[in-house]
Chain A
Amino acid sequence: GQNIDQPTEMTATEGAIVQINCTYQTSGFNGLFWYQQHAGEAPTFLSYNVLDGLEEKGRFSSFLSRSKGYSYLLLKELQMKDSASYLCAAVDSNYQLIWGAGTKLIIKP
């Protein structure tokens, strides 16, 4: 079956760095997305990886290892507004998104 695993909840301190991990098992693979979702709002696109390696975009970076079925989202210089759920979604062979349950990130001052 297809499966995405990510931690349910993480806590970090304002100004620090946090890494949110995601492992996936899919029928075929056509990339992996990270989305941010604030409470009561729809998800917004953060990143997309299809090749191995690190993609950096400002304070956020995303890493992918296809051989390990593993990705992480790295958030630097954490701000209070980064408190949100972070959703990992892998694209299968039919170009359907397989969603993780999301990681709730709590930022403390």
Chain B
Amino acid sequence: GAVVSQHPSWVICKSGTSVKIECRSLDFQATTMFWYRQFPKQSLMLMATSNEGSKATYEQGVEKDKFLINHASLTLSTLTVTSAHPEDSSFYICSARDAQGAHNEQFFGPGTRLTVL
């Protein structure tokens, strides 16, 4: 089946630093990748949709200058949390859509737990 990797799995950083999270589709090409954030005991919240070779589309309320997304290839998208603050601590999950898949489903990476001190 389709596999999506995410790196790092967890990161702890000081307030004010920037953190980059990578999302890779390992055995398929993903023209579209999605970035989600999930706070404890809450559902997934879509942050942005990332299309290969074009600018990401951000959901309402998500600061594009704070959450920089780059989708430079068909297998890699990155999310950079700039000047992270404690309120940015969350579980960040990426997913990739397999355009060749039977149901156009999204396959999820294992997630990155970010803790900002």
Contact = CB atoms under 8 A, between A and B. Distances in A.
Interface of A: 30-31, 33, 35, 40-45, 48, 50, 87, 91, 95-97, 99-102
Interface string B37-55: 0000011101001000000
Chain A binding surface, main DSSP class = loop
Contacts of B46: 96-97, 99
B105 A43 contact: no
Nearest to B104: A95
Contacts of B106: 97
A33 B44 contact: no
A42 B110 contact: yes
Contacts, number: 41
Interface residues of B, number: 19
B69 interface: no
A94 to B, nearest CB: 10
A101 B109 contact: no
B59 to A, nearest CB: 10
Q: Which of A31, A33, A42, A101 neighbours the largest number of chain B CB atoms within 10 Å of its CB?
A: A42
Contacts of A101: 42-43
B42 A48 contact: no
B36 to A, nearest CB: 9
Contacts of A48: 103, 105
